[in-house]
Each structure stands twice: as C-alpha cells, then as structure tokens.
C-alpha cells in the first residue's frame, strides 16, 4: 500500500509534477515513484508481520523454573510434560531406561565403596548423633565376611556397566565438580573430615532432547537397554547379588554408621530391583519422575494449552491457544550466572525450595546451609527490578522427605533457633516456612504483588497434577488480564 493522499491534502500540491516536464523527466520521475512505492510496500509488509507476531506473542507465556540444585525443577518439568505433552513424553520413555539403570548401578557402586572402606579398616572415629542419639544397632560392630568379598567380586562387572552407560548418555553431558554425599549431611559431622562418604561426581546433561530422543543423531542409543543389550543383560545377571547386597544387615549397618541414607537420595531404585533389573524392563511414568539426571545449562520445552474456562477465545484469537515456553536451568551455584539473560520478559517464575534440607549443606559449597541458600535466592528473585512484573509461584517441595526426617526425630529448632518451641511436625514446619517466604516476598518486591505458594512433593504425580492445574489456571488468568491491558 503506497502513500495515497486525498485531493484536498496539501501534499498533492507539493507532489504535483511541474507543468513543463519533458518526456525523459516524466519517465525518471515515474521510476523514482515506483522505487519509493516498493520500499514503502516492503516496510508496510514488515510492520504487518511484526504486528502479527506481537499478537501471537501475546499468547506465549515464558516460564522459568528456578531453585538450587536438587530442588526438583526438572522433576516439575517432567510432571508438566507427562500431563500436557503426552506425545513427546512417550517418545522419550525408552531413553530413560539407561538413566534408571545408571541410577541403580551408581547406588550399588556407592555401597561397594562403603563395604570396601569398612573392610580396609577405615573406621569412623566418632559416631555422632544425628537425630538425638543413635539407635542401639548403630553401635553394633560391622563385620564383613567372605560372603561380602564374594559379592564384591560378582558385582565388579557393574563398574564396566557404569562406564558404558556414561558413554552412551555422554553426548551432551559435561562433568561437574565433585559432589559431597548424596544424602543429608548434618553440620559438624566428623565423618565429613574423613572424606569417607564422598561419592563420585554426579552425572549431568546439557540437553535432554539429545540424550532421550536421539533420533538418528545418536545411533548408539537406539535400542540401547533393549532385551538383548549387553548392559541390560549384565544388570539382569547381577540382580540377585544386588538384592542380597542391599538386603544385607551388615551393609545396612555400615550405611547407617556413615549416615548414607540412600532411600532419601536422588535416583534411588534399589527397592525395585525385582522389577527393574530384568531383561524386559519397561520404564514407568513413576520411574521417569524419580530418575535423576543433573541439568547443566538451560533447556527450553514448549507446551501447548488449548482454550479452557480460564480465557475467552474471542479475546485471544481463534487461531491458537496458549504456548508455554518453560526454561529448566541447572541449579548449582556455578550454573546460576546463566539465568540472568532469561529474566528478560519472563512472565512466570516457579521457584522450588526444598523444605527437607534445613539440616543439609550445599554440595558445591559445604560451608553453606541449603535452606539458607534457598532463602537468599528467593530474596534476590523477589527484589530483582527486572522481575518486578513477573508472577511468582513458590513450591515448598520435598514435603515427603521433611515428614520422614521429622519422624526420625531431627529437630528443626536445632538448625533454625527461630523456630522456637513450635511442634516438630510437618504442618507447623511447612506453615512456618510458608510465612517466612511470604514475608520476604512482601518485604522485598519492588511493587505490590502476591505470590502463590504450594506445599509439594513433585515425585507424587497425582497430587502434583492437581497443583499444576491450579498453577496453569492461575497463570493463564493473570496473563490474560495483563495481555488485555496491552
């Protein structure tokens, strides 16, 4: 569309050709007008496209999952995908088999390390009391016998399996700094000084997509873990010995003495060996949600939501529903610098704070209490001017582990004196954390806003489905209201 002034427009006079124009001048003028028209049409087209895009972008919601490492960000993303991106979820199912197998093998290798250390006489100097005194059996002498020696020999092939699984999953991964124990580490624990409970560095991925849905990019992963795969065969062959090792009383005692609480740690599957360490193992939804693969860098996942009761199709356009672009980040301290560029135009932050970690320290910096780290992060997110208009959603996660910990008698007020003499039970503890996080949000937000706070156990997919529905409706409602103001 060119510039087409009306006859009364003063511009007509200005643009009218001179009365004594020669034929050559007329041709040149017409050429110039044509060129100008082309440029103008191009600009018009660009503006039209930009407007279309802007209209479309109104239906895009950018969601950031934030929180320290092991807070449950990727697990939350898995819940979203399981529920709202079923086709992609199914496509990746088989890819998770290798991850679950690696999780199992690593647990067994951790146990073998403990048995080895005990056999070699690396005895703890002090048996301190994590939870108000050790129970009687922890003081029993740990005695390993020929049986354990044999188990060590028979399970040795699992080291090769670990290497092979790492190689397979290796594409798109990078090592991270060595981690401290996989489980709770109470402060001033002398076992730390002996370095006995350290485990090998955790495995991480830069891109799920490459590892779990290799297509033809990673031929070595196709059919990996199938019935006749060497890794699966070796694991199935070791099943009985793994079970004997895990069920062994002395092994349990040794783990307890070293406060290695495997069932509470990431990627624990040893109670499912009968089902998983088999040739025909098929990966369940629950396995995927519980499998542990550390995130490095930022991964983007897209979800489509069709129109629902939360919006009005007339107002958001008939052609599409809402698209959520969810960004899952690595949570350890060294990964956090990469978060900043993603703060731009972010609509929603789902922040995960694990509430069970009040007595633990950061893997990457053992001087720092994990809950304290989470509170510092939350405070900086709430006070960020860049995020002043971002909707904040807080998951107080790992409530199941909190419950277990409190049941074992670990006292919150030892680690948080401000908790005072409130009851050492889940509901009051979660309420206390809720108030604490809410107060910070109110105090530090640059402008008025409310935060939605949910107590969660994101490995419980049924309960999480209800939470996610509420999150989805709340987010869409709020964004619809905002987009109507634009």
Ligand X SMILES: Nc1nc2c(ncn2[C@@H]2O[C@H](COP(=O)(O)OP(=O)(O)OP(=O)(O)O)[C@@H](O)[C@H]2O)c(=O)[nH]1
Nearer to Mg ion, 257 or 370 (CB): 370
Site string for Mg ion, 63-102 (x = CB under 5 A): ----------xx----------------------------
Give least dist CB 73 to Mg ion, A.
5
Stretch that binds ligand X, among 8-16, 147-155, 288-296, 373-381 (CB under 6 A): 288-296
Exposure of 232 in the CB half-sphere (CA atoms within 13 A): 19
For residue 467, the tally of other CB atoms under 10 A from its CB is 20
Place of tokens 């955790």: 202
Partner that binds at residue 436, options Mg ion, ligand X, none, CB closer than 5 to 8 Å by kind: none
Q: Does 356 bind Mg ion (CB under 5 A)?
A: no
3-state secondary structure (DSSP) of residue 174: coil
Q: Distances from the Cα of 101 to the Cαs of 152, 199, 276, 293, in angstroms? A: 19, 17, 8, 12
Distance in Å, CB of 469 to Mg ion, minimum: 23
Query: Choosing among ligand X, Mg ion, none, which partner's interface includes residue 256 (Cβ < 5 to 8 Å by kind)?
Result: none
- In this complex, which beta carbon is closest to Mg ion, that of residue 179 or of residue 295? 295
User: C-beta of 404: minimal distance to ligand X in Å?
Assistant: 8
Helix/strand/coil for 7: coil
Of 204 and 369, the one with the shorter C-beta distance to ligand X is 204
Of these, 295, 335, 397, 441, which contacts Mg ion (CB under 5 A)?
A: 295
Least distance from C-beta 450 to Mg ion, angstroms? Answer: 27
User: Is residue 295 marked as binding?
Assistant: yes
331 vs 483, beta carbon nearer ligand X:
331
Number of residues lying near ligand X (CB under 6 A): 24
Q: How many CB atoms lie within 10 A of CB 225?
A: 21
Give me the half-sphere count of Cα atoms (radius 13 Å) on the Cβ side of residue 257.
25
Per rule CB under 6 A, is residue 331 in the interface with ligand X?
A: yes
**Nearest 5°: CA angle at 158, between 89 and 144?**
125
Task: Give the closest residue to 205 by CA, choosing from 352, 67, 74.
Answer: 74
Using DSSP's 3-state secondary structure scheme, residue 278 falls into: coil
114 φ/ψ angles, rounded to the nearest 5 degrees: -65, -45
What is the C-alpha separation between 180 and 165, in angstroms, rounded?
22
- What token pair was written down for 205? 């991925």
Binding-site partner at residue 69 among Mg ion, ligand X, none, CB < 5 to 8 Å by type: ligand X
Residue with Cβ nearer Mg ion (73 or 403): 73
In the block, which residue shows the tokens 């007020």? 413
Q: Annotated binding site for Mg(2+), which residues?
A: 295
Q: Annotated binding site, which residues?
A: 264-265, 295, 397-400
Contacts to Mg ion by CB under 5 A: 73-74, 295
Contacts to ligand X by CB under 6 A: 67, 69-75, 266-267, 290, 292, 294-295, 330-332, 397-398, 400-401, 457-459
């Amino acid at each position: 569309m060119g510039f087409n002034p009306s006859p009364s427009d003063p511009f007509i006079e200005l643009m009218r050709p001179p009365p004594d124009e020669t034929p050559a001048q007329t041709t040149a003028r017409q050429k110039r007008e044509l060129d100008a028209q082309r440029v103008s049409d191009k600009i018009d087209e660009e503006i039209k496209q930009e407007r279309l895009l802007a209209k479309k972008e109104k239906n895009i919601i950018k969601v950031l999952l934030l929180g320290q490492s092991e807070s449950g960000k990727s697990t939350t993303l898995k819940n979203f995908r399981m529920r709202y991106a079923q086709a992609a979820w199914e496509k990746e199912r088989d890819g998770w088999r290798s991850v679950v197998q690696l999780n199992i093998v690593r647990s067994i290798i951790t146990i073998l390390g403990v048995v080895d250390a005990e056999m070699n006489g690396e005895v703890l100097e002090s048996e301190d009391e994590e939870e108000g005194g050790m129970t009687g059996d922890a003081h029993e002498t740990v005695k390993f016998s020929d049986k354990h020696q044999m188990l060590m020999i028979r399970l040795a092939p699992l080291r090769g399996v670990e290497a092979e699984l790492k190689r397979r999953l290796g594409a798109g991964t990078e090592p991270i700094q060595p981690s401290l124990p996989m489980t709770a580490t109470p402060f001033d624990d002398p076992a730390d000084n002996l370095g006995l409970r350290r485990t090998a560095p955790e495995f991480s991925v830069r891109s799920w997509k490459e590892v779990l849905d290799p297509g033809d990019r990673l031929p070595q992963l196709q059919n990996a873990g199938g019935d006749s795969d060497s890794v699966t065969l070796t694991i199935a062959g070791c099943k009985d010995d793994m079970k004997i090792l895990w069920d062994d009383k002395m092994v349990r005692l040794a783990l307890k003495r070293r406060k290695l609480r495997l069932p509470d740690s990431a990627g624990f599957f040893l109670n499912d060996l009968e089902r998983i360490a088999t040739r025909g193992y098929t990966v369940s939804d629950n396995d995927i949600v519980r499998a542990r693969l550390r995130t490095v860098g930022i991964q983007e996942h897209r979800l489509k939501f069709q129109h629902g009761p939360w919006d009005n199709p007339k107002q958001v356009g008939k052609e599409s529903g809402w698209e959520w672009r969810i960004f899952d980040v690595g949570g350890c301290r060294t990964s956090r610098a990469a978060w900043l560029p993603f703060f731009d135009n972010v609509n929603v932050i789902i922040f995960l704070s694990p509430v069970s970690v009040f007595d633990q320290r950061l893997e990457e910096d053992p001087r720092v209490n994990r809950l304290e780290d989470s509170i510092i992060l939350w405070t900086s997110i709430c006070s960020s001017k860049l995020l002043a208009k971002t909707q904040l959603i807080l998951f107080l996660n790992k409530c199941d582990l909190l419950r277990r910990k409190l049941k074992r008698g670990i006292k919150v007020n030892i680690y948080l004196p401000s908790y005072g003499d409130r009851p050492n039970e889940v509901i009051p503890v979660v309420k206390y954390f809720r108030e604490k996080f809410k107060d910070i949000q109110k105090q530090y937000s640059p402008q008025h806003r409310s935060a939605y706070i949910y107590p969660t156990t994101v490995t419980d997919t049924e309960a999480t489905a209800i939470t996610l529905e509420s999150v989805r409706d709340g987010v869409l409602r709020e964004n619809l209201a905002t987009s109507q103001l634009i």
